[in-house]
Amino acid sequence: MIPGHVWLSAAQWLPPTAEKTVDALADGRVTATEADAMGYEQLPVSAEESAPQMAVRAAHRALSRVGAKAGDLSATLHAWTYYQGHDFWSPAHYVAAGTGAHGAIPTGIQQMCNGAAAALSTAVDRIAADGGGAPVLVTTADRFARPGFDRWAGDYGVWYGDGATAAVVARAATADDVPEGALTLRALRTRAVPALESAHRDTGAFHPAPHTSSTAVDVRRTKKAFLATQGKPEFLGRLRRETSEVLADALRDAGIGRGERELRTVLLPRLGRATARDVYGPAVAEVTNAPVADLGDRTGHLGAGDLLSNLTALSAGASPYRLERGEYAAVLSAGAGFTWSAVVVHRP
C-alpha cells in the first residue's frame, strides 16, 4: 500500500530534432502497413547528447517545478533500457553528480521498459522506511542511435524515440502540504511472468560481448523465434490478461470501481495504434469504462520513460490530459521479461 500523502512531480526533456514518419517511408525504413499500424508522426532523435546527459536535463526540470533542492535528495534512481554511452560504468552516479545530488545514494534500475515503475516503487519503499522524509529523484533516459539500434525497424510494432524523464517523489505531512501541480500517488501495482523472458533472448546460446550475434540490436529475430513456439494469439491473450489484472488491482487499492469514483483516463504505453486497439484497449475495457489514450504521436516509445512522460502530461499546464483538482487517472507500464505495472494518481 502507498503511505499517505506521497506525491510526485514529473517532467521530461526531449531533443529538439526529430525524424519524420513520412521521411522514413520515403527512405524505405518502414512500410506503409507498418506506418498505418503505428499511427505516429515522428520520433525525437538526439544528435549529440547521451541518455544520461538528457536525464540530467530532465532532473533539473523536475526539481525546479516544485522548488526542490538536489542537495536534499536522499536517493537518485536511474532506469534505462539501452546503451548509456559507456561500456563499464554507472550512469546512475553520473546523473546524481550532474544534478548536484552529491549527498544522495545513486542506484541503477534495470527492468527494461518497466524501469520507471520499478524505480518509482523503490522510491516509495524508501520514503516509507525513512522517517526523515527526504525526497527521492527518479530518472529515465534512452537514446536509440545507429549503428547499434534501428529505431524504426529493430523491433516488431515498436518505434523508439530518444528522451529523458524525471520525477521528484516525496511525502507530505498533510494533503495541504502537497506542492502545487504535484500529483498524489494512490496506488502502484506490479505483476510479472518471468517465463516469458525468452521473447528477447537468443535461445541458442549466450554471447560473450555486445553485438556478437549481429551488428545492431535485432528484437525481431528473438520475438519471431519466441512466437513460433508460443503462438501469437496465446501471447497476446496473456498480455491482455496480465494488463487487466494489474489495472484491476491498482484501481481496487485506490478505491475506484465501475460506477464509483470517476477515473478521468487511462494512459497507455506508447506502442502504437494497433497495440492500443488489439491489446491495451480490450484489457482496460475489462476493468473500467474510462477512455484510453496513447500519447506517443510525437515521441514514439521512450524506452523506460513512457510512464513518467505520461505522468508529466497529467500535470503539465498546456496538456489536454492535465488533471483538474479532484480528478484521478491511471497509467499503465510494461516491459520485457515480462513485467506490468499500473499507477493511479490524483490531483488534490
pLDDT tier for residue 90 given thresholds of 50, 70 and 90: very high
Residue 140, in any domain of the structure: yes
- Judge if 204 and 169 occupy the same domain: no
- Judge if 136 and 253 occupy the same domain: no
Report the CATH number that the domain containing residue 292 is assigned in CATH.
Answer: 3.40.47.10
Q: pLDDT tens digits, residue range 62-78? A: 999 999 999 999 999 99
- Judge if 276 and 178 occupy the same domain: no
Number of domains in the chain: 2
Region 33-41: mean pLDDT is: 96
Which pLDDT score, from 0 to 100, does residue 260 have? 59
Which pLDDT score, from 0 to 100, does residue 313 have? 97
What is the domain extent for residue 212? 184-346
Residue 164, in any domain of the structure: yes
Region 145-169: mean pLDDT is: 96
- Judge if 119 and 190 occupy the same domain: no
Residue 251 CA to its chain's centroid (Å): 19
Please give the C-alpha separations between residue 230 and each of 61, 156, 199, 242, 249, in angstroms, as whole numbers.
43, 16, 9, 16, 27
- Judge if 246 and 216 occupy the same domain: yes
- Judge if 276 and 131 occupy the same domain: no
- Judge if 27 and 150 occupy the same domain: yes
Residue where a domain terminates, one of 138, 163, 182: 182
Closest of 332, 285, 7, 286 to residue 138, by C-alpha:
7
The answer on pLDDT for 211 being more than 90 is: no
Q: What is the DSSP letter of 1?
A: -
Q: pLDDT tens digits, residue range 249-259? A: 999 999 997 65
Which pLDDT score, from 0 to 100, does residue 150 have? 95
Q: pLDDT tens digits, residue range 233-248? A: 899 999 999 999 999 9
Residue where a domain terminates, one of 148, 182, 216: 182
Which pLDDT score, from 0 to 100, does residue 101 have? 98
Q: Bridge partners of 343?
A: 188, 331
- % of the chain with per-residue pLDDT over 70: 99
Q: Rounded distance, CA 160 to CA 45, Å?
A: 9
- Judge if 332 and 279 occupy the same domain: yes
Region 27-32: mean pLDDT is: 96
- Judge if 269 and 309 occupy the same domain: yes
Backbone Cα Rg of the chain: 19
Residue where a domain terminates, one of 163, 182, 201: 182
Do 280 and 310 meet the contact criterion of CB atoms below 8 Å apart? no
Residue 1, in any domain of the structure: no
Place of cell 490524483: 346
Which pLDDT score, from 0 to 100, does residue 213 have? 84
**Mean pLDDT score of the chain, rounded to an integer?**
94
Residue 48, in any domain of the structure: yes
Q: Rounded distance, CA 308 to CA 286, Å?
A: 24
Ramachandran category for residue 236: left, alpha or beta (phi over 0 → left; psi -120 to 50 → alpha)? alpha
Lowest mean pLDDT of 122-126, 218-222, 265-269, 327-331, name the range: 218-222
Closest of 95, 121, 125 to residue 107, by C-alpha:
95
- Judge if 318 and 199 occupy the same domain: yes
pLDDT tier for residue 100 given thresholds of 50, 70 and 90: very high
- Judge if 319 and 292 occupy the same domain: yes
Residue ranges of the alpha helices (H) in 255-319?
A: 273-275, 281-285, 306-315
The answer on pLDDT for 119 being more than 80 is: yes
